[in-house]
Amino acid sequence: MSKPPEPPVPLGNGTFRVTRGDGTQVLAYGVADGQKTWVFVDGTSYVLEPSRRGRSAGAHDAAALTAPMPATVAQIHVTVGDTVKAGDLLMTLEAMKMELPIRATSDGTVNAINCRAGELVQPGAPLVTLA
């Protein structure tokens, strides 16, 4: 088994976004088996295991803003490379006839947007990553 160029990004419901070495992105599907998750893309299997270094070691995880509940992405107000300040509106989700604003938790630069307008996202799915 080989490693993907970038770690697969969980989107919820067993789906992942995988960025290939050439920069193209594809949807992949995964299956959890205890602590491991097997992700299948382009005929290759990848095994994702939880970090053994502990929670504080994943500094980049703190910069990933996640969906608080199952919701539909209504609008994305930023693009990759935008500079944002804490409190800036990044995107708007809709769930149960409510609008859920997703705001920057700190100053930074938008490093990745892991969803599209109209997409259904699951709780805990990373939406935007700030660097």
- Residue 119 makes CB contacts below 8 A (sequence gap 6+) with 11, 72, 73
pLDDT tens profile 55-97: 433 333 444 677 877 889 999 999 999 999 988 999 999 988 8
Question: Six-digit token pair at 130?
Answer: 């700030």
Q: Does domain 61-130 have CATH number 1.10.10.10?
A: no
Average pLDDT of the chain to the nearest whole number: 77
Domain ranges of the chain: 9-48, 61-130
pTM of the model: 0.54
- As a whole number of Å, the end-to-end CA separation of the chain is 30
Tokens of 32: 């959890």
Instruction: Specify whether the CB–CB gap between 6 and 114 falls below 8 A.
Output: no
Identify the band that residue 105 occupies on the pLDDT scale cut at 50, 70 and 90.
confident
pLDDT-based confidence at 51, cuts 50/70/90? low
Residues 6+ apart with CB under 8 A from 110: 78, 79, 80, 81, 82, 83, 84, 90, 128, 129, 130, 131
